[in-house]
Amino acid sequence: MNGDTESRIVSLKGRADLPRHVAIIMDGNGRWASKRHLPRLSGHRAGREPVRACVRTCARVGVRYLSLYTFSVENWARPISEVTGLMRFLENVLERELLELDENNVQLNVMGRIGMLPESTRAALERATRRLSSNDGLVLTLALSYGGRAEIIDAVHRVAAEAQAGRIDPDGIDEEMFRRYLYSPDVPDPDLLIRTSGELRVSNFLLWQIAYSEIWVTDVLWPDFTAGHLLDAIESYLQRDRRYGLSD
């Protein structure tokens, strides 16, 4: 981390107007690898360092929640060799990064259709979550086997079951009640959504939660994303006037 990045972290640390929750669509691993004539999995492996940099920086600056779009429900349609490699890579990263996450007081949260993950991956996630459960610092959420529409449908199923059982009154359902049936109801909506690789779409990520999120897009491919880019996004956020649909 260079001196300029360090000084920017110091200047932002503890500011009351920091985004409480930053969510990131980590895109561009495959293109990064293709540009270098490497296998796609090489791009995913290269994306490990940006994740580490974002976790460290958010923890140091004082961002309370960081959510990473790690593997979507649509990603299951990728070649089985790539999916298998991704799952093994995730298990390896969880094991190798656990000590540093613990030392940085990070909590781990996982959301998505977790039952679709391989048993070994679920076991690795459970071990990591349990190991970090007593921490009270940055809440790191991995969106795995995740889709925004799938999350809403799963929530509707749970609400319908509760109403059918007579435990809730359908006429009493409002936004606040509905969000309690989402995957991670205790995690606040993102203040800032970051998208790498220059694509101008939200790709089925946190569709309910990003209703009023500020969006920051960069052409940088995820493996090239640095702490400096994250700070650029946060500093851009701090210049914005959030009106939540109110008039100018």
The yes-or-no answer on residue 27 being catalytic is yes
Q: Which single residue is written with the structure tokens 């293709």?
A: 34
Tally of structural domains, the chain: 1
Please report the pLDDT score of residue 247 as a whole number. Answer: 60
Cα–Cα distances in Å, from 40 out to 25, 30, 134? 17, 5, 36
Please report the pLDDT score of residue 248 as a whole number. Answer: 60
> Is residue 233 a part of any domain in this protein?
yes
Residue 110: CA atoms inside 13 Å, Cβ hemisphere, count?
22
Please report the pLDDT score of residue 30 as a whole number. Answer: 94
Query: How much of the chain, in percent, has pLDDT values that exceed 70?
Result: 98
> Is residue 13 a part of any domain in this protein?
no
CA distance 177 to 185: 10
The residues facing 141 across adjacent strands are: 67, 109
> Is residue 11 a part of any domain in this protein?
no
CA distance 27 to 47: 9
Distance between alpha carbon 186 and the CA centroid of its chain, in Å?
A: 14
Calculate the average pLDDT of the chain. 96
* pLDDT at 15 > cutoff 80: yes
Please report the pLDDT score of residue 134 as a whole number. Answer: 97
pLDDT band at 42 (very low <50, low <70, confident <90, very high): very high
The mean pLDDT value for 14-42 works out to 96
Q: Tokens at residue 2, please?
A: 């260079």
> Is residue 190 a part of any domain in this protein?
yes
Residue 137 DSSP label: S
> Is residue 83 a part of any domain in this protein?
yes
Q: Domain holding 34: CATH number?
A: 3.40.1180.10
Contact call for residues 100 and 133 (beta carbons, < 8 A): no
The yes-or-no answer on residue 204 being catalytic is no
Marked catalytic residue, from 2, 4, 17, 27:
27
> Is residue 170 a part of any domain in this protein?
yes
Contact call for residues 6 and 48 (beta carbons, < 8 A): no
* pLDDT at 62 > cutoff 70: yes
Provide the domain limits for residue 226.
Answer: 18-237
Q: What is the pLDDT of residues 168-177, one digit of tens each?
A: 999 999 999 9
The mean pLDDT value for 218-235 works out to 98
> Is residue 33 a part of any domain in this protein?
yes
Please report the pLDDT score of residue 3 as a whole number. Answer: 73
Contact call for residues 202 and 193 (beta carbons, < 8 A): yes
> Is residue 194 a part of any domain in this protein?
yes
Who contacts 59 (Cβ-Cβ below 8 Å, separation ≥6)? 104, 105, 106, 137, 138
State pTM to two decimals. Answer: 0.96
pLDDT band at 243 (very low <50, low <70, confident <90, very high): confident
Marked catalytic residue, from 2, 17, 29, 75:
75
Q: Is 222 helix (H, G, I), strand (E, B) or coil?
A: helix
